[in-house]
Amino acid sequence: MRLASGVVAALSLVLPLLMRVPESLPATAMGSALLLYLERVLAVFAILLFLLVFLYRSFFHGELPKAVSGRGAEWSDLGTTARELQEPIDELRTAVKQVREDLGDRTLGSLNGQ
């Protein structure tokens, strides 16, 4: 993850250098090619960071965003999901252990002739 974050940071600095600077700068650049470059760095960084988070959460946690809007993506909370799942898993382990013990007692009883 650290390596991927470093790649995102490096690409956000390099990719805007490869973009063409128009002869007539847009109004957001306020006549400065340096300001245009910095705006492009910020835009590329935001896009690549969102892509990194999207890929990380989908590949490693198996979830997609609940909603994507102009304000960003909305994700379910990973912490509560893991905690919510742990309790039923513990209950299932206890139930399986109890069934194994019951089957083991019955098997031993039938082998002893009871």
Whole-model pTM?
0.53
Q: Residue 4 is encoded by which pair of tokens?
A: 């991927």
pLDDT at 114 over 60: no
Residue 32 is predicted with a pLDDT of 76
Q: Which of 55, 42, 49, 38 is nearest to 8 (CA)?
A: 49
As beta bridge partners, residue 68 has 73
Q: Convert the pLDDT of each residue in 52-100 to its tens digit.
A: 888 888 887 777 777 778 777 777 765 556 667 778 888 899 999 988 8
